[in-house]
Amino acid sequence: MMKRVKVSIPKVDGLGLLKGKPAYTDDLIPDNTLIVKFLRSPHAYVKIKSIDISKAQKIPGVECILTHHDVPKNLFTRAGQGYPEPSPHDKRIFDEYARYVGDEIAAVAAIDEETAIKALREIHVEYEILPEVMDFEKSIDNETIIHMEEDSHSKFEIGFNPKRNIAAAYSMEVGNVEEELKKCDYTVEQSYYTHAQAHAMMEPHTAFAYIDFQERLTIVTATQVPFHVRRIISKTLEYPMNKIRVIKPRIGGGFGGKQALHGEFIVALMTLKTGKPCKIFYTRKEVFESTCSRHKMRFDIRLGADKEGNLKAIDMKGLSDTGAYGEHALTVFMVAGSKTLPLYNKINSVKFSGDIVYTNNVSAGAFRGYGAIQGNFALESAIDELAKKMNLDPIKFREKNMIKEGETSAVFKIMGEGREGVEMYVESCKLDFCIKRGKELIKWDEKYPYKKISEDKIRSVGMAIAMQGSGIPYIDMGSAIIKLNEDGFFNLMVGATDIGTGSDTILAQMAAEVLETEVENIVVYSSDTDLTPFDVGAYASSTTYVSGNSVISAAKNMRELIIQAAAEKFEINAKEILFDGKILKSKDEKHCMSLKDFSTQLYYSDKQKQLVANSSYVGHISPPPYMAGFAEIEIDIKTGKIDVIEFVGIVDCGTPINPNLAKIQVEGGILQGIGMAIHEEVKINAKGKMLTNNLMNYKIPARNDIGKLTVEFAESYEPSGPFGAKSVGEIGIDTPPAVIANAVFNATGIRIRDLPITPEKLLLKIKQ
């Protein structure tokens, strides 16, 4: 019986944050820190012919100005992911080319923000304006080549072909799709488009750096990937890694937008140049225009089925817009296939292929869902279209063809992000329950396909299923160190990065469960490259599964160390020791001592010994969480406005370690997915200028923008997971776009295949 796991305790950092205690990067900045500001390109594609900083340098209070003449020329990728990085090395700190509106041209460090901005105005740049490529469907073999530099490269074969504006490419096939489709009684062939989406996290990108008393460079930054930051900074600046420390404070949201380096290079360089602390903080405009967005994608999908309703073939051909630089280009695209195609494993043949192309848009990067949401919208829309063509209930069609517990998929073996050829049988999959329960809660049989509420309003329901993953097998590692202190409490040190998700809390719960102590006795310290063990960071839905397994292993090791030390003290065999988390005693009860007294004596006696346990974990599989999403929507046919009356998400994430925190994760993901479906739209004009670069013009949904939101968890247990857990951080975001598109069709007979589904777009089609 678990006492501390599967329990909804408050977050360990919650009270301090509620009280407004200094915890975030901007709260911790030293006095007399220089302020760093960027000069950014006003054009989508330019070559810098000359840059004059002489007037800016003379302004009192300006300490340092850096341009492409003053920084290392090394090419790198900003993507904070496994090494060697599967993204092209195509970026310089500053370059003689700027490749999107908002790209960095120069930086100023000054005594205050006002002085820095004044200096930026006095930097005079002569540009050669080059023809831009804004449309990703016109990028391949365009006359404009976005990366002409001869030294851009990839670490291994990813299909990198910059002369054709291709950052990466991928193709795989099982069976013969063309031959299989010819045999099918019913086929669907359509194209689906997903758009760029802004992360819109509440805390903008912020970092500061200083030189400590040992002459080491310390970078404090709102990042999801502190260990990757240290490695990339070291290699790019050619600065010894043993002289770099990266600290992650509390994070005010990331969603993938902080899984890349942005201001860290410049604060590091400015600090090294001036010897003074330097800070950079992005304005909201800079976050929108100059960090990253979700990859815009197009999928051309072909499906085929026989007259009995058996899905026989899937062909997904994609095109992805990576923007000006190729970070996360290949991996996001592959996830669009690897985390969608295994949903339908009864097929005879499957093909997934496509190109990831450069444009002069702001770079795309990691974003919650990481390609799966784009692929899911396309595939789950097409599945509904095929079911409609066959006159089948879309739920029954899915139930007949979807993956079930104990089964596998050929896609796992071919597209495993960690290692090809690894078979993975699904040991926990409650999709059947998720669908049954969701159908019941949304009252599907009463409402499908639609009901007319009034002359102007129609209500309808839609649904979709989804899967995600739990870390990247054979690549991503998590580690933990546990230290026993006098008075019987523990320090848990993890490299795992809590970005507001509550991972510090659930890892403390896991440690407490193994050690049979209270969570209050586990003091967590996370993400300091000097003090905590290695962890890849917060991405790929890895923390609960990967870092959690490492914590459990370290806690088990600590139990063994405590028992062995007690055996030595009592001078008996370790097998004779009983330990319940509070009391150590011998089986014959001749010896008995509380852990508090024992640990105190351990450090204040003639047999002094510090007990420290550690462990690490690398997954060999990535067990998928699953979800069935259902929505009831109301459409005003006079305005095209869509209201989400109710959304139901039933999730199989194995054992939810902290049910309340897991529920909040899914609810937040659902809301972001609804935002992508009907609210959010990045608008860029023909010359690359972003028109939605603030939270007034870029509409993200709030809780009151949808009606009832219901999240429940299936009773499930993943044998390879910590206490049976799988991931839960991303799965919530995947279904809403397809769910709402399917509901719109059920209400109106109109199929929207390009996101977002705006009132204007829907009304135009209604009138047509």
Same domain, 333 and 225: no
The DSSP element (H or E) to which 105 belongs, if any, is strand 104-110
Given a cut of 90, whether residue 167 has pLDDT beyond it is yes
Tens of pLDDT along 175-217?
999 999 999 999 999 999 999 999 999 999 999 999 999 999 9
Contact 250, 244 (CB under 8 A): no
Same structural domain, 452 and 515: no
How much helix, strand and coil, in percent to the nearest 5, is found in the chain? Answer: 30, 25, 45
Residue 436 within a domain: yes
What pLDDT is attached to residue 608? Answer: 84
Q: Within this chain, do residues 595 and 686 fall inside the same structural domain, yes or no?
A: no
CA dihedral 140, 141, 144, 147 (to 10 degrees): 70
Residue 103 forms part of a structural domain: yes
Cβ-proximal residues to 440 (8 Å cutoff; 6+ apart), any chain: none
Same domain, 106 and 237: yes
The verdict on 628 and 599 lying in the same domain is no
> Rounded to 5 degrees, what angle do the CA atoms 750, 755, 758 make?
70
Phi-psi bin for 136: left (phi > 0), alpha (psi -120 to 50), beta? alpha
Per-residue pLDDT, 418: 66
- 328 falls within a domain: yes
pLDDT (tens digit per residue) in 533-550: 999 999 999 999 999 999
Last residue of a domain, one of 220, 252, 281: 281
Q: How many residues does the chain have?
A: 768
| Domain annotation covers residue 678 | yes
Last residue of a domain, one of 225, 247, 281: 281
pLDDT of residue 2: 84
**pLDDT tens for each residue of 587-601:** 999 999 999 999 999
- Mean local confidence (pLDDT), 472-484: 95
CA distance 351 to 312: 12
pLDDT of residue 605: 81
In a domain, 1, yes or no: no
Q: Are residues 612 and 631 in the same domain?
A: no
Enter the pTM of the model.
Answer: 0.97
d(CA 95, CA 100): 12
Tell whether the model's pLDDT for residue 422 goes beyond 90.
no
**Residues 5-26: pLDDT tens digits?**
999 999 999 999 999 999 999 9
Contact 579, 563 (CB under 8 A): yes
Over 70: is that where the pLDDT of 672 sits?
A: yes
Looking at the domain assignment, is residue 121 inside a domain?
yes
Give yes or no: residues 629 and 529 share one domain. Answer: no
State the total domains in the chain. Answer: 3
Q: Is residue 173 a part of any domain in this protein?
A: no
- Environment class of 485 (CB within 10 Å of its CB; exposed 0-12, middle 13-18, buried 19+): middle
> CA neighbours within 13 Å on the CB side: how many for 360?
28
| Calpha distance 679→672 (Å, rounded) | 9
pLDDT of residue 421: 66
Residues of the domain holding 739: 296-472+621-767
The alpha carbon dihedral of 474, 478, 484, 488 has a sign of negative
Looking at the fold, whether 392 and 518 belong to one and the same domain comes out as no
pLDDT interval class at 501 (50, 70, 90) = very high
* Residue 181 located in a structural domain: no
For residue range 289-311, list pLDDT tens digits in order: 999 999 999 999 999 999 999 99
Q: Looking at the structure, do residues 514 and 595 belong to the same domain, yes or no?
A: yes
**pLDDT value at residue 45:** 98
Q: Are residues 556 and 482 in the same domain?
A: yes
Give the chain's mean pLDDT.
Answer: 97
pLDDT at residue 417 is higher than 80: no
In angstroms, the CA 86 to CA 142 distance is 25
Domain holding 38: CATH number? 3.90.1170.50
Are the beta carbons of 629 and 466 closer than 8 angstroms?
A: yes
Which candidate, 568, 577, 576, places its Cα nearest to that of 607?
568
- The values of phi and psi at residue 109, to 5°, are -110, 125
DSSP 53-88: -HHHHTSTTEEEEE-TTSS----B--B-SSSS-SS-
With beta carbons less than 8 A apart as the criterion, state whether 638 and 660 touch.
no
List pLDDT tens digits, range 711-760.
999 999 999 999 999 999 999 999 999 999 999 999 999 999 999 999 99
Looking at residues 647-656, what average pLDDT do you find?
98
Rounded average pLDDT over 640-644 = 98
Q: In the 8-state DSSP scheme, what is residue 576?
A: G
What is the C-alpha separation between 636 and 84, in angstroms, rounded?
52
pLDDT for res 747? 97
Cis amide bond preceding 625, omega within 30: no
Give the pLDDT of residue 423: 79
Q: DSSP class of residue 362? A: P
Same domain, 605 and 481: yes
**Residue 444 shares a structural domain with residue 482:** no
CATH code of 574's domain: 3.30.365.10
